Chain A
Amino acid sequence: MNRLITARCAFILIAALALFSAAATATEDKSARWDFIKKHIEVKDKRVIERTHCQITINSPVGDEYSELSFYESKFSRLKKLKIILKDSQGKTIGEFKKKNLKKVCGFGASFQVFDDICYYRFEPTPQSYPFSIEYSYERHFQNKFFLPTIYLPTKLPITSVACTLVYPAGVNIRHKTYALPMEAIEINIGNKMALIWNGSDIAPLDFDTLSALDYDRAGEICLVANEFEYIKSRFFGASWKEIGKWYAGVLKTRYNWNSIKAQSCAPDLDLDLLKNTLDGVIGNYRYVSISIGVGGWRPRQFDDIIDTKYGDCKDFSMLLVNELRSKNIEIYPALILTRSSGTIDTAFPCFYFNHQISVAVTSDDTLWMDPTCRTCPLGVIPWQDQNNYALIITDTGGVLVRTPTSIAEDNAIVRKTKIYVDQNLIVHSEIETKYTGQLGMRWRSSFEQMTNQELIQFGESMLSSKAASSEIIDISYQNLDKLYEPLYLTIKAKSIRPLRSVRNIAYLDPCVVEPGIWFTDSDYDRIRPIKLRYPRSVIDSVWLAVDSALTGAEFVLPMADTLKNDVGFWSISTNLSISGYSGQPVLISSYALESPVIEPKKFAQLKELVETVGSRDKRLVKIKLQ
């Protein structure tokens, strides 16, 4: 599944680009600079050959990170004729290296993988006197047009010159698109071949804050996709999401039972109990293990193998669900997705840029999404990585690109009930019951599961630690950890380490013992792309207050009731002067919510207003005027 993403993330391989702008001059970069980047890609019938020749100059120790190079090789993409030349400031060769001289690392894929059959050859030069240069060249042979490589530009360093060509037989269709690049390719007819050429010189590093969301994620890419190939015994022909879905359906054909559901035999409503039991069965009985060998990056394992081992990856689990539920006449499909933290799907440019598979059950007017790799996801909830995202549903007739649902703030809530007792020494004793639902419940469920008792205490202390106060945990426990369909509860008893701050006989009590805050900085607002929240959320704090009898003569000044509502969310404080204990109304209720999953730049001012209001302790402090 991760072939494209793995290739993208695996190595610092870059390619040529056009001028960034007519007026741009490359800035002298103290750390490093690309002297030239040349890439030539040739499509030959079924195979693709890429020839690369580059040179980078490292100007100071600051640029050392760019001197470490890594070249990947896999079963489907062979690395050949690799040559690296290390040069001094005069251009004199001080070292030459080939593939056999480099450190070879094989089998260690992404952090979540147990095994991946890609190898990397690492070049880590010894420190040299500065400046020094590294010139390298290689060929890469791809077995299949499916692997037509995306070209990447190094976006953080200046480039003196760039030249990239793609040559392919006339009659072969190659689609291409560049991101954060103003230059279009020049197309040339060379006899019975076509060529696309990109040229550029003196290219400055990108200013990412001026990029749109899509360009930000894909900056520096020239994406190339062949419109016709056969891979994993499935033929692809076309340029649409539908065709991509059709191809993948062909890959899955031997693993999925496509014919078990007859047309129009599906029930009008989804059998939720059946779905729940099946999903819970996969989550509870199978362990997530990702092993990617050969085509295993795209195709699920054999059904019997998954059952025999009781482990698998996203594709395997999706297969289990689809197989099981289709046999019970549930209309359910696998769906390909690119998780949100890994990038953005360009809906206008269909390609194979996916890294995950989930499932969706449908009726005529409803869908129910399921991600069986999420151990803490009850039926009806998918992790934020999958939410508010594009997914390609693999139907019997091809792919359908849809948007997955998003949750609302009320779904992802922290509801906190706090009882505060202030003793005669102004030490604050608190009992806090926190209820987590939705994404917050899922997040803390998987964290608490991993924590030792000691770590849980440390977690509690960090929760109650703010700039101005720290607390010692007396007791901490959670409830409903294993009950996915119930809210998760965390109960804490704590005592402040220092007494309340007091000035001129006024003590200041922050009733929100867990400091509320929405964490954005000024630099977050300084960009043109929207802010995408992981998920909308809400927090409600209800506080009851009791004091030692020695303080009963004190005067309590509560904050003013107040509200802020704008397009991004809301905040409110309401109070009730009842300092007589824990029965009755809470003394203070503070709540806020971030309601928009996506905040457009024109709303950044409102976001900033909300952030500052929520973070303003002045608006919620209780003042105790001591006698």
Chain B
Amino acid sequence: MSRPVYLLAVLLLCLSTTLTFAGDKPKWGKISEAEWATPLPQDYSDANVIILFDIGEMEIEPDGISFYRHVRMKVFNDAGAEEVGDIAIWYRDGDKIKSLKAHTITPNGKKHKVEGGNIQKQEYGNLRTKTFSFPHVEPGSILEYKYRNFNKRFSSLDSWEFHNQQYTLTSQFSLTLAPGFIYSSAYNNIPLPFQEPTEEMNALNKYKTFTWTMTKLPPLRDEPMSGAIYNFESSLKNQLVSYTSAYQFVAFVESWEDLGEFFTKQVIKKYIRKNKGLKDLVASLTADAEDEDAKALAIYKFVRDSIRTTKTDVSTWFYNDNVEKALKTREGTEEEKNVLLVAMCRQAGFQSWPVLIATSDYGVFSPKLYQLSQFNHIIAVIDFSDGGAIVDASSKYCPFGVLPPTCLVNGGFLLDGKQSKIITVKPVPPKSYRLDNHYVTIDDSGLVHCSTAITLSGYFTDRYGDQIESSEEEDFVEDVLLADLEAEFDLIDYGIEQKREEQVIEIFATYTSKGLVEILDGNLFFTQPTLVLNTNPFVDEKRFFPIDFQFPCTYHTKTSYAVPSKYFPADMPKDINSKTSILNFHRVSFVDSFNVTVESRLVINSALVGPIYYEGIKRIFEEIEQANKEQIVFAPVQNE
């Protein structure tokens, strides 16, 4: 993905010299003529509701953090009333929500308050909501609410997302710091001109206020194949660095080295320290190893295959307290397995370290933000005499040196006490290939017989492997593999073979179908039995978020039609050759003896693609969808 080009697109969207308000902040319940008259935005003319403004103010004082939020929306129609008529304000257990007010102002200017008794509280684990419904909502109404969230989460300030699910005319965030507080900011996809805040100082109390504003923000919508959405929405993460007063100094965050020392000492060393049984185990695993590679591989396979992967609460990294227990229980979390791997490699004489990363479906690691909460996974680095390897023993579908697709990240944080450092990861993904081979025949009654062999390799095994394991084989073949077949079918036979070390899964299925052929005037019109890419997921005109294909790969489909010799191929699909820098698609059809073969290949060169390439990608997927719909026609041979 090209960040600069993407940011340019966001910049163009957001540039505006006109703010909805300027100078004084909007007053509760006071709606200006301009606000009443606000029309639908030109770039989003079928919006049902727009957010006139969304203002967040975070005030940090020694006794706590107060976050004030004030939102005002205009409803244009009944669908808009449904969209925003019910509100849920999310917060964490321990936060205090105060001064919650909400009302509807109907076009005649009358105000209808949300009564306190009509505000309910919901609970979801550690999260809470205050939820309510706006009264008297009708087209043309303005809905407004505000509240204060008081908490003491100094070391993890809430981030501010400029986007909402509705079109937002103005989104503004202010950070006010009492004297003594020092902070740092990390920007997520905020164009450069908007990164610098305006700054004010209150002469009386010396509070400093920093304000960021963005305007005309399109709504966040679900888009197919998006990566972690919050990777790419414009957001601001502030981190308190320290607080100094006449009486104390409190450091909220240290350098990366200090963070690394903390994590190594408090988490890694505590886990590895108690490791009875480790020495003997490593010795037995590596006894027959001829060289370093063999040693490392033996240890890796043991951790990957003999320690069962388990899950815990999100708040803990490990299932067991230490290595000794893990060796007894023979199970551990994904991260724990990699720390165990590090411990075992060190025992075997290797230099080895755990590395914290943020997986691609979780977020993007920002070195500017000194927060360990950025990371959600641990992988391992093993140093050999002639180089090193980055490994992850958590996925049973990944051989040594191949990281799972969610670990295809750029950087991580290597943990080595005071020598901890940020490193480049940049793994090379394996060749991921899906080959579908179909052999189609037809009997005298018009019933189509199809024999399909599918080979999945590379990351395709990771994609399908868990599904295969958690379903009955027949269910997997019928409900997953053949789900996209454009006709009813009867499954005759099937089989699945997994070759984990080679990262290969082979599947075969034979079935019959009446629906795959249409007989008109004696001509046979075959529908292609394609199982992938039958539907173009990219149907929206515009795209906001990058497209996440997860990994570079190839889809290769080959279908051979063998019909009785009394038929000849009357209409074959035309060859196609389409290319962009991201995707290549080509298709050929040819006659081989009396068989017709249609072969297509889609090559995806990049895992993550910026929205600027969307049009080209959409065009190719449309082409593929149409190509898969084309019928192969055989006509009876006419006797002279």
Residues of A within 8 A of B (CB): 30-31, 61-62, 64, 103-108, 114-115, 117, 119, 126-129, 285, 287, 289, 291, 293, 308-311, 375, 449-450, 452-454, 458, 461, 467-470, 497-498, 501-504, 506, 508, 521-522, 617-618, 621, 623
Contact = CB atoms under 8 A, between A and B. Distances in A.
Given A107-B123, A114-B86, A504 B570 contact: yes
B633 A501 contact: yes
9 contacts: A119-B123, A126-B319, A127-B311, A291-B133, A311-B135, A468-B518, A498-B630, A501-B525, A618-B520
B470 A61 contact: yes
A77 to B, nearest CB: 18
A115 B120 contact: yes
Contacts of A117: 120
A107 B122 contact: yes
A336 B550 CA distance: 51
A450 B49 CA distance: 12
Nearest to B518: A617
Contact of A106 (B122, B319, B469, B520): B122
B46 A452 contact: yes
B472 interface: yes
A117 B626 CA distance: 50
A618 to B, nearest CB: 6
A469 B486 CA distance: 13
A452 B277 CA distance: 64
A380 B463 CA distance: 52
Given A126-B312, A129-B308, A454 B135 contact: no
A127 B308 contact: yes
Chain B CB within 10 Å — which of A127, A309, A450, A618 has the most?
A309
Contacts of B486: 467
B614 to A, nearest CB: 14
A108 B122 contact: yes
Interface string B209-233: 0000000000000000000000000
Contacts of A498: 626, 630
Given A105-B123, A311-B135, A375-B78, 10 more contacts: A105-B124, A107-B129, A119-B123, A289-B85, A310-B136, A469-B629, A470-B626, A503-B523, A504-B570, A617-B520
B135 A310 contact: yes
B122 A115 contact: yes
Contact of B635 (A127, A308, A504): A504
A521 B488 CA distance: 8
A459 B130 CA distance: 36
Interface in B346-386: none
B184 interface: no
Interface of B: 45-46, 78-79, 81-82, 85-86, 112, 118, 120-125, 129, 131, 133, 135-138, 308-312, 319, 331, 469-472, 486-488, 518-521, 523, 525, 527, 539-541, 570-571, 625-626, 629-631, 633, 635
A260 B120 CA distance: 35
Contacts of A115: 120, 122, 131
Contacts of B312: 126
A480 to B, nearest CB: 16
Contacts of B541: 454
Contacts of B81: 287
B311 A311 contact: no
Contacts of A108: 122, 124
Given A126-B311, A128-B310, A454-B540, A309 B135 contact: yes
The 8 A-B pairs at the shortest CB distance, nearest first, are namely: A107-B122, A309-B135, A106-B123, A61-B470, A115-B120, A310-B136, A452-B46, A126-B310
A105 B571 CA distance: 59
Nearest to A108: B122
Nearest to B86: A114
A93 to B, nearest CB: 13
A contacts with B: majority SS: mixed
Contacts of A309: 112, 118, 133, 135-136
B518 A311 contact: no
Contacts of A61: 469-470
Contacts of B570: 503-504
Nearest to B129: A107
A503 B635 contact: yes
A289 B133 contact: yes
A467 B470 CA distance: 32
A103 B125 contact: yes
Contacts of A126: 310-312, 319
Contacts of B124: 103, 105-106, 108
Contact of B86 (A64, A285, A289, A450): A289
A256 B115 CA distance: 24
B309 A470 contact: no
Contacts of B79: 449-450
Nearest to A482: B78
Nearest to B634: A503
A324 to B, nearest CB: 19
A128 B112 CA distance: 54
A72 to B, nearest CB: 14
A501 B571 contact: yes
A506 B521 CA distance: 10
Contact of A287 (B85, B488, B571): B85
B77 to A, nearest CB: 8
A105 B121 CA distance: 11
Nearest to A621: B520
Nearest to B470: A61
Contacts of A506: 521
Contacts of B625: 470
Contacts of B136: 309-310
B629 A449 contact: no
A227 B626 CA distance: 64
B633 A503 contact: yes
Contacts of A106: 121-124
A287 to B, nearest CB: 6
A454 B521 CA distance: 40
A506 B633 CA distance: 13
A341 to B, nearest CB: 21
B629 A467 contact: yes
Nearest to B44: A452
Given A454-B540, A508-B520, A287 B137 contact: yes
Nearest to B114: A309
Nearest to B571: A503
Given A61-B470, A103-B125, A506-B521, A127 B118 contact: no
A30 B86 contact: no
Nearest to A113: B86
A586 to B, nearest CB: 23
Nearest to B308: A129
Contacts of A452: 46
Contacts of A114: 86, 120, 131, 133
A64 B571 CA distance: 49
A507 to B, nearest CB: 11
B332 to A, nearest CB: 11
B424 to A, nearest CB: 33
Contact of A107 (B86, B131, B310, B331): B131
Contact of B527 (A467, A617, A623): A467
Given A108-B122, A126-B312, A504-B635, A30 B629 contact: no
Given A107-B122, A115-B120, A127-B309, A310 B470 contact: no
A209 to B, nearest CB: 17
A450 B45 CA distance: 14
A334 to B, nearest CB: 23
A291 B631 CA distance: 53
Given A289-B86, A498-B626, A468 B631 contact: yes
Contacts of B527: 467-468
A618 B520 CA distance: 7
Nearest to A129: B308
B634 to A, nearest CB: 9
A504 B518 CA distance: 16
Contacts of A107: 120-123, 129, 131
